[in-house]
Amino acid sequence: MTPELQDLFAFLSFPSVSTDSKHKSDVLDCADWLIKKLSSIGLETQLHETPGHPIVTAKNKHLPDRKTVLIYGHYDVQPADPLDLWDTPPFAPEIRDAKIWARGATDNKGQMLAHILGIEKTLSEKGELPVNLILLFEGEEEIGSPSLAPFLETHKEFLKNDIIAISDTGMAAPNTGTLGYGLRGVACAEVKITGPARDLHSGLFGGTVANPATAVARLVASLHLPDGTVAIEGFYDAVRPLEAWEREMWAKVPGTSDKDFLEVTGSPETFGEPNYSSAERTWGRPTAEVNGIGGGYQGEGSKTVIPAEAFVKLSLRLVPDQDPQTILAQLKTHLEKHCPPGVNIEVEIGHDGKPYACDPHSDFGKAAQRALKRVFPGEPMLIREGGSIPIVQAFRDILGTDTLLLGLALADAQIHSPNENFPIANFEAGIKLNQALLEELAK
């Protein structure tokens, strides 16, 4: 095994699941491993305690008259369950079919380590980097980065940069240079409906009191029109229309036909807002999704009860210029207005992150495109992303700089799902890309 893969295997072995307090010490051990790795390549490295998981930073020696590039990544991962659906254990990485299989292989440890190893390689080949470098790695991305935004505020001077680069997004198709210039935002909420004081006999009481599970179903149904359009009042007011050039560009992006979406998702049909392609729906249009729903009897066979309570967990994906706080207020109003009579409703607002978009044709955007062309054949694809990295808009708000998204995640990487994987080819290309990127950004 190459030393690069050995590093990746070590990094992937930590179950650094940020959402689960059981794994707090694993997250810390993973941060410590990073500190050692970054120090070993000669960077000045620091571990910053936070109320949650630590932030790791590293810098080379900064010289005047050089561009300062900040590279961000996250070393936390999503939970691995359901465990029984993994072909091999999530934190015991393995190579099969020229891919590395493990939780975090793509999101984000493999992509993040490609940055670090690119830097290590340039340092060992040339003795120095072409730019002033700031590395910023957090352990709370998958839980909405609660400690990082305050950290940006208190470390503005320390983090001052000209441009930010991240590899934590999608690559349009294998061996296809992809520059992401936008991310959807996210806004989460949980609705709890309560009715009778306890589960009731549905024969003795059915028809006399309202059923909380029915109320949840009505609320969920009220969120969309039958054609898939979101029905929350005011939801589309601030949505920036797609530009002609991006619709044209996206139509050429490989891997985004309806057939491709069906293959990757395993769904019987694509479905969504009318008059938009699947790529447009995921990258450029907002949605409302049910992430979990429950209440009442879930066991084998039937049980004739009226449940005492029911719930639904929702997340909305937002696009520029929707504001998460405004949208969450609209959602709350909508839910309270559409709640049927006879039950109590409680809307608990969860975490959120703003959407983001920048100009891929800026000077730094062009430099990123040149770097992509040095590593991948053909012209780079310019895309936005359906997923969210909430800190990216905070970078712009607080530090005042834009972010280039140099994604290496393939559609079938199974991020957040069992059997997450990362092709060795993407890992190796990522290392080269990071070397080329710093050179091009320095010009």
CA distance 254 to 262: 14
- Count how many residues are written for the chain: 443
The Cα 212–Cα 192 span in angstroms is: 9
Binding mask 100-139 for ligand BES (x = CB under 6 A): -------xx-------------------------------
Alpha-carbon distance 185 to 319, whole Å? Answer: 6
Tokens of 261: 């979406």
| CA quadruple 202, 204, 205, 208: dihedral sign | positive
Give CA separation, 190 vs 22, 293, 306, 319, in Å. 24, 10, 21, 21
Is residue 387 within the footprint of ligand BES (CB under 6 A)? yes
To the nearest whole angstrom, how small is the minimum distance from the Cβ of residue 382 to ligand BES? 14
In terms of Cβ atoms closer than 10 Å to its own Cβ (0-12, 13-18, 19+), residue 293 is: middle
- Please identify which of the residues 4, 140, 141, 309 carries the catalytic annotation: 141
Write down the least CB distance from residue 120 to ligand BES, Å. Answer: 23
Position among 170, 284, 380, 423 found at the interface with ligand BES (CB under 6 A): 170
| Residue with Cβ nearer ligand BES (195 or 324) | 324
At 192, which amino acid appears?
Answer: K
Q: Is 141 a catalytic residue?
A: yes
Question: Binding mask 225-254 vs Zn ion (x if CB under 5 A, - otherwise)?
Answer: ------------------------------
> According to the binding rule CB under 5 A, does residue 108 interact with Zn ion?
yes
168 binds Zn ion (CB under 5 A): yes
Active site residue 348: no
- Closer by beta carbon to ligand BES, 119 or else 389: 389
169 binds ligand BES (CB under 6 A): yes
Catalytic residue among 4, 76, 138, 142: 76
Q: Per rule CB under 5 A, is residue 402 in the interface with Zn ion?
A: no
- The values of phi and psi at residue 361, to 5°, are -100, 10
Instruction: Verify binding: residue 138, Zn ion, rule CB under 5 A.
Output: no
Per-residue CA distances from 84 to 66, 139, 232 (Å): 51, 26, 38
Nearest to 178 by CA among 314, 16, 341, 382: 382
The residue to which tokens 């949650």 are assigned? 52
Sign of the Cα torsion 97, 98, 102, 105 reads negative
Piece of 34-42, 163-171, 192-200, 351-359 that binds Zn ion (CB under 5 A): 163-171
Interacting residue ranges for Zn ion, rule: CB under 5 A:
107-108, 168
Q: Which residues are catalytic?
A: 76, 141
Tell me which residues touch ligand BES (CB under 6 A).
107-108, 141-142, 144, 168-170, 186, 353, 385, 387-390, 409, 415
